[in-house]
Structure 1
Amino acid sequence: MRKKILIVMFVFIMLLHSTVSSALGFKYIQIFDPKQDRVVKVVQLNDEIHNMVVSSIKDVDSLYPKSKPLTDDGYAIKVPIYPAVRVEGKCLNSLVDNIFIIIPQHEAPFFMVFEDDNKQLCFPFKGNVNDLSKLLDFKLRS
């Protein structure tokens, strides 16, 4: 229970405090490990990762089926979307500037998005975790 509270607090802190960018305007992806309770890797956002995540969120057609999606294992990945993308679909109508990809160890991965009014929505991640893992140069599944 303590870890779940820490994860929720971490997500809100990440939401409230944007990643410090260098003068060149670089954006960074953060990979958080709830078991270690810290960011374990920071990766510079590139076009390939950006396009993969944006195309996945635009293809959302259903909500994540679990009522309590947070987990004590796996990884949480914060991906800044720059420039922000307007998503208008069946389940999401919002301007998206950050996406959280949650990859539990033994369950299906999912997106977590906060709408304009800070309402949290979760959607199944239909992208390939292995491809994402290669792009991030980080093993997301064992």
Structure 2
Amino acid sequence: MIKKFLTTVFLVIILFHLQVIHAEEYEYIEIFDPKQNKVIKTVQTNEEINNMVIGWINKIDGIYAKFDPVKDDGYAIRFPLVPAIQLQNKWLNTIVKEVYLIIPKNDPPFFMVFETEDRLICFPFTGEINTLSNVLDFKLK
């Protein structure tokens, strides 16, 4: 009888002291291989990577001149920007939530930014691929 009473009191105390824990939602960088047609690695984004990507897109100084930006080789990397940033330059005036970096095997790398759902704009990549490879712990070239 005492055992049942103590168990009931213990359960009531636990129920009244429940705490709601809010988990922080993490965003992940995805490295996609078009040959395998799948994401081959995910990396949790952090402030260092976020600042590096923001620095790259703030230095945009031209449009990618190739006619067909879709490549069947190399890698595509999706960088979510947390928080989203307002990008305002000669070519864009929009809020950027994510940036895609396309690294083809035989062409120079470039960014893809969706201005709206229907409009895609490509920009040359001026960053250092080796630095990015080290940060992502993945051999890109």
Counterpart of 2:33 in structure 1 is 33
Question: Partner residue of 1:74?
Answer: 74
* Structure (1 or 2) with the larger CA radius of gyration: 2
- 1:67 deviation in Å? 1.2
- TM-score w.r.t. the length of structure 2 is 0.82
What's the secondary structure of 1:51's corresponding residue?
helix
Which residue is 1:84 aligned to? 84
- How far apart in 1 are the matches of 2:63 and 2:94? 15
Instruction: Give unpaired runs (5+ residues) of structure 2.
Output: 1-21
CA distance in 1, matches of 2:101, 2:29: 11
For residue 117 of structure 1, report the CA deviation from its aligned partner. Answer: 4.7
Runs of 4+ in 1 over 6 A off after TM superposition: none
- Is 1:109 the equivalent of 2:75? no
Measured after TM superposition, the shift of residue 23 of structure 1 is 2.9
For residue 15 of structure 2, what is the aligned residue in structure 1?
A: none
Instruction: Give the C-alpha shift of residue 116 in structure 1.
Output: 2.9
Q: CA deviation at 1:58?
A: 1.0
Rounded to whole Å, the distance in 2 between the matches of 1:124 and 1:63 is 6
Letter in 1 for 2:39: V
Going from structure 1 to structure 2, the CA distance change for 1:117 and 1:35 (only over 3 Å counts) comes to: closer
What is the distance in 1 between the residues matched to 2:71 and 2:116?
A: 25
Write out aligned runs for 1:1-142 (5 A): 23-141=23-141
TM-score by length of 1: 0.81
Name the % identity: 50
Q: What is the total number of aligned residue pairs between the two structures?
A: 120
CA distance in 2, matches of 1:30, 1:117: 20
